[in-house]
Structure 1
Amino acid sequence: MPAYPQTIHFVGLNTPVGIEWSARNLDVIGTIPAEIDGAFFRAVPDPAHPPMFDDDIILSGDGMVAKFAIHDGTVDYAIRYVETERYALEKGARRALFGQYRNPFTDDPAVAGRDRTVANTTPVWHGGRLFMTKEDGLGYEVDPDTLETIGRWDYHGAFTSQTFTAHPRVDPQTGEMFFFGYEADGVCSTKIAYAIADRDGHLISEQWFDQPYCSTIHDFAITEHYAIFPIFPTTADLDRLKAGGAHWAHQQDLESWVGIMPRYGKVEEMRWFKGRPGISAFHLVNAFEEGGLIHLDLCLSDTNAFGFMREAGGVQRDQRDIQGGLTRWTFDLAKPGDGYEERVVGPPGDMPRLRDADQGRPYRSAWYLSMNPQGGPPLPGGPVGFAFNALLQIEPGNGRIDMMGLEFGMAISEPVHVPAVQADQDGWLLMVVDRQAAESFQSELWVVDAGAIGAGPVARVPMPLPMRAQVHGAWVSAAQLARGKARQPA
């Protein structure tokens, strides 16, 4: 293997693998419930070539789409690179051509103006199509059967933004997908394109508005009647980029904002609420309405969780000193002013998951990753440099919290939720768990009862080859796959 920088972004769980492979009938320890029938797709950053600069980060890794196909208790696996324009250009050159993370001014002149996205963040299923997304560009459609890349997706030219969010939201009742792109008309722009696609995947609305400053908007939320845009003070600056600097720099003294608008309304109806300075959240659990109130639950911290974003803004904080927790913000739209209420409802953590049926509605429980106090030091790896070693289930309505804690030397990636046949049951969670073994790592797919996570897995699937830590995942049922539209004409 060519030499990679020996930094946290390329060692431990972040050690490059760069292998496309597949296997059928993997060994299963235990029994996978028969109602788990479909595919667990994972977004895995894995650089195909050593980077141009030694200070490169994991978020620049080429996107790979992985698939666990599960049927009648059997498991097949496959993983392939997403053949973005960037991947194809570097594959042809046999070396990296694109420079620093989200800084086009550091690229090789041979690729000036070419598509920089690596589509490595989130698998998205909607309208019978599978997309791999990263918020610095458009999504790429992938064949859900073969994992072959079909091409960039812009709703047949109808979507005019240059970017597509990593976290769209699908309404469980209407089937519509609500999404946005920030830096919609270019690097460091304040423009946001807010769009809606109907249940069949046709674009039905696109509107543009300005955010207060150019910030990284990784996630947003919907309720039955509103769209919610949190703005945190991790900002971009064009002069800094032109000088070869970082795309994102956290500004600890800059205030945060939340924009709320009717989800079918006009962007001119956006109402802005001012929040505390310096805070940050990358992932939102859910939002819902209660009378005239809007509740937004999010994984909040008192500064940016990414060290490279903090340090670019002059914020020197050890990862272990970051404070925060699962937090509920409550907005009273009947009151004047730009304030809102805040209270902590759960321990610190991230990578939340809830039932798809609860999206934008009141919910009984959610699951997210955290740290096990008895689990020892976390393994090095993952997007922020350390890996989670506990899974939490929280019921915000009554404060109940359950935990599945892992042993020393283990790590867990974000779970996906598989609904139960009976709607009153919690269903199942699928997740990849890694265990340190001497100088390498061993990975397993775990199947966990979502209503009894403390009992541990009901089934485990050991993997025969090393695996990279994922970013996000998606569950697509066999029924949904059967209605897939890959390669069908528009």
Structure 2
Amino acid sequence: MTAFPQTIHFIGTNTPRRMELSLRNLPVEGQIPADVEGAFFRAVPDNAHAPMFDDDIALNHDGMIARFNFDKGAVDFDIRYVETERYLAEKQARRALFGRYRNPFTDDPSVEGVDRTVANTTPVWHAGRLFMTKEDGRGYEVNPHTLATVGKWDYEGKLRSQTFTAHPRVDAQTGELFFFGYEAGGLCDPNVAYCIADKDGNLVKEQWFEQPYLSTIHDFVITEKYAIFPIFPTLADLDRLKAGGAHWAHHQDKPSYIGIMPRYGDVSEMKWIEGPVGVSCFHEVNAYEDGDLVHIDLCLTNSNAFAFMREAGGVHIDQRELQGALTRWTLDMSKADPQIAERPLGPPGDLCRLADADQGRPYNRAWYLSMNPQAKGPPMLGGPVGANFNALLRIEPGNGRLTMMEVPPGAGISEPAHIPSATPGHGGWLVMVIDVPNSPNPADYSSEVWVVEADAVENGPVARVKTGLPLRSQVHGAWVSRERLDASVHH
């Protein structure tokens, strides 16, 4: 193909932008709080080339690392491609060489054996290093000051797993990074690698276990005692891939599972607990212990949220008909055979955010994106599932108290990042990109960064940073303080 297809994956905020650029001193309306000193990194899929197939999807697009640098009230913006093996091979050829999403059997023969990952899902900061991650490969290290790609990261050759999750968890108190990789041994391998890196970034533990079926394990959670792997019935199949088909197909008739083990223990201690049939979840908010009870809070839907994953499994549910809720699953670990007790916590939504200090511990609030039931007109087109969220919710899971931040009519919100405050008793700040329409044309919008008081989201932004550009949708983002940036490996 020489032109981009006009499907949901290439229009609206998914319109290919294909620009590497740097802008200094963006206009700011309002006042940037003194606490907001550092960098907001974003993972942005954006094709460098028109795809080989017209049913290509946004998750298959080249990774770009974007940065909003907050420097004493001034804000600069930079965006660069992550120079993966795949990106460099296609750059040299000046065309797409890699075929369908996570299906190497559809690639141009010239790139056989070249690493296929696009590193487009999550910026991860740990032990003075920045990584761009996507769960089908290892992370790529990026210099946080120049955004230059350093190279693939394998813990100095110690990591055996061929994959690294886009959702590791950092324990803020110990500084350790807990992570995993599924399909650890390669395409459609049933093994999952469970790993721990210490506060200095050394890989100290890697153990492999088999999951009950070959599913996409997008996220996981830790508590002070446990590592927890919620898995859902969206399955890979090697024969289907060899026939040129989809990597993932959702099975509405199969159960979900929770795998739970002591976080410093051995994988032989893993307990598998069967959960509801047909459900799906891509992101967990948090998990924590309350005596013998383990609570797992997750963004649950009654089927897979991605239409292409549902349809590959013969599940035909309109996107607007999906049901879901922010849901709490509770396990009583004093029982020999714990079962999942379920209760709803809040409205449906996704792209949840927690204060870093609360990771794996009891917490009193979180934030996530949802749809505003009072919004005028349809949602903004784009994003990984084709429609952007238009409400930011703050929830107190203990009492169910809910507050909402609204956006201008037709605007879309990307996942926020939380910034702690130096002021005792202050709940900190959220930063996020808001795409605001300029006209009815879905590609005509302007992207802004909003800074919002984390515990008063209903008040809207205290500052708006104007880019004057329509930026491509992000997947996930990360906040890194100036202190951490100054202490980075590459400074």
Give SS of 1:39's match.
strand
Structure 1 ranges of 4+ moved more than 3 A? none
Do 1:163 and 1:183's aligned partners in 2 also have CA atoms closer than 8 Å?
A: yes
SS in 1 for 2:282: coil
In the alignment, residue 435 of structure 2 is paired with which amino acid? D
Secondary structure of the structure 1 residue equivalent to 2:258: strand
- Report the AA paired with residue 401 of structure 2: R
Gaps of 5+ in 2: none
Q: Does 1:74 align with 2:74?
A: yes
Q: Which residue of 2 aligns with 1:54?
A: 54
1:458 aligns to 2:459 (yes or no): no
**Is 1:397–2:412 an aligned residue pair?**
no
| Equivalent residue number for residue 313 of structure 2 | 313
Contact kept, 8 Å, 2:45 with 2:474, in 1: the verdict is yes
Contact 2:419 2:430 in 1 (8 A): yes
Deviation at 1:13, TM superposition (A): 1.0
The DSSP-based 3-state class of the residue aligned with 1:174 is coil
Q: Is the 8 A contact 1:431 1:446 kept in 2?
A: yes
User: Residue 80 of structure 1 aligns to a residue in which SS?
Assistant: strand
Structure 1 distance, partners of 2:39, 2:265, is 35
**Per the alignment, in what secondary structure is the counterpart of residue 283 of structure 1?**
strand
1:191 to 2:191 alignment? yes
Show the counterpart of 1:406.
407
1:344 maps onto 2:348 in alignment: no
1:445 paired to 2:449 = yes
Letter in 1 for 2:163: T
Match of 2:29 in 1: 29
Q: Is the 8 A contact 1:37 1:71 kept in 2?
A: yes
Q: Match for 1:293: what amino acid?
A: L
Give the residue type in structure 2 aligned to 1:468: R
Equivalent in the alignment of 1:240 = 240
Percent identity between the two aligned chains: 67
Please report the TM-score for the alignment, with normalisation by the length of structure 1: 0.98
TM-score by length of 2: 0.98
Offset, 1:407:
3.0
1:328·1:344 contact (CA, 8 Å) conserved in 2? yes
| CA displacement at 1:188 relative to structure 2 | 1.1
Is the CA contact 1:274–1:338 (under 8 Å) kept in the aligned structure 2? Answer: no
- Whether the 8 Å contact between 2:68 and 2:76 is mirrored in structure 1 is yes
| Partner SS state of residue 196, structure 2 | strand
Per mean C-alpha deviation after superposition, the further-off stretch among 399-408 and 248-257 is 399-408
What letter matches 2:150 in structure 1? I
Q: What secondary structure does 2:329 align onto?
A: strand
Q: Contact between 1:326 and 1:345, CA under 8 Å: does it hold in 2?
A: yes
Name the amino acid aligned to 1:397: G
Contact 2:13 2:470 in 1 (8 A): no
- 1-side partners of 2:18 and 2:150: how far apart? 21
- Asked whether the 8 Å contact 1:34–1:71 carries over to 2, the reply is no
Pairwise CA distance, 1:2: 5.3
2:165 maps to 165
SS in 2 for 1:282: strand
Q: Distance in 1 between matches of 2:425 and 2:187?
A: 46
8 Å CA contact retained: 1:329, 1:340: yes
Is residue 423 of structure 2 the alignment partner of residue 422 of structure 1?
yes
Aligned counterpart, 2:12: 12
Counterpart of 2:371 in structure 1 is 371
Alignment length, in residue pairs?
A: 487
Query: Would the aligned equivalents of 1:85 and 1:116 in 2 still touch at CA under 8 Å?
Result: yes
Q: Distance in 2 between matches of 1:456 and 1:266?
A: 46
The question of whether the paired residues in 1 share the 8 Å contact of 2:138 and 2:152 is answered with yes
Checking the alignment, whether the CA contact within 8 Å between 2:122 and 2:134 is kept in structure 1 is: yes
Deviations 1:326-362 (A, max 9, x none): 0000000111225210000000000000100000000
The one-letter code of the counterpart of 1:313 is G
Task: Write the distance in 2 (CA, Å) between the matches of 1:2 and 1:365.
Answer: 48
Counterpart for residue 490 of structure 2: 486
Residues 186-217 of structure 1: per-residue CA shift (max 9 Å, x gap): 11111000000000100000000000011001
C-alpha contact (below 8 Å) 2:331/2:338 kept by paired residues? no
